[in-house]
Amino acid sequence: MNQPHHDERARIREAMDRLLAGQATASNGSLTVVALAAEAGVHRMAILKRHVDLKNEFYERVRTETRQVPETEKRLRETVTKLKKTIANQKVEIEELRQQVARLALASAVLTQRSESREDGAPASENVVSFRSPTAR
């Protein structure tokens, strides 16, 4: 490994130690990759692209040493919970819409049958306008 990357890795490891000890000097002290990058003085993409193993190590240390769930995992869990709730609501709505479609189809069939029976000679009331059947134009 070349020297610049080795120095970067060393700075990231030192920043990990400071953040986990609660002694942040260059960041807000949160246990995130953004704070880790700020604390180490590197761009966060360097951690996300070149030093993925250090990012994973950091989150594993956060989980084991502080007995906390990393912020990113908390946000993902919240998002999953919201999405599950949305899916459940949509399933209920879809079922209600299916029932409504069935009721409307039944009502349409009844109205069509009534209309056809009136055309067959049954007298219509004076205030009722009968619909033409779809085949008659």
Which pLDDT tens digit goes with each residue over 87-135? 999 999 999 999 999 999 999 988 888 877 766 555 556 766 666 666 6
| Domain spans of the chain, in order of start | 3-68, 73-121
DSSP structural state of residue 50: I
Type of residue found at 133: S
pTM (2 d.p.): 0.53
Which pLDDT tens digit goes with each residue over 3-18? 777 889 999 999 999 9
Q: What share of the chain is helix, strand, coil (3-state, %, to 5)?
A: 70, 0, 30
* Polymer length of the chain: 137
HEC profile of 29-46: CCCCHHHHHHHHCCCHHH
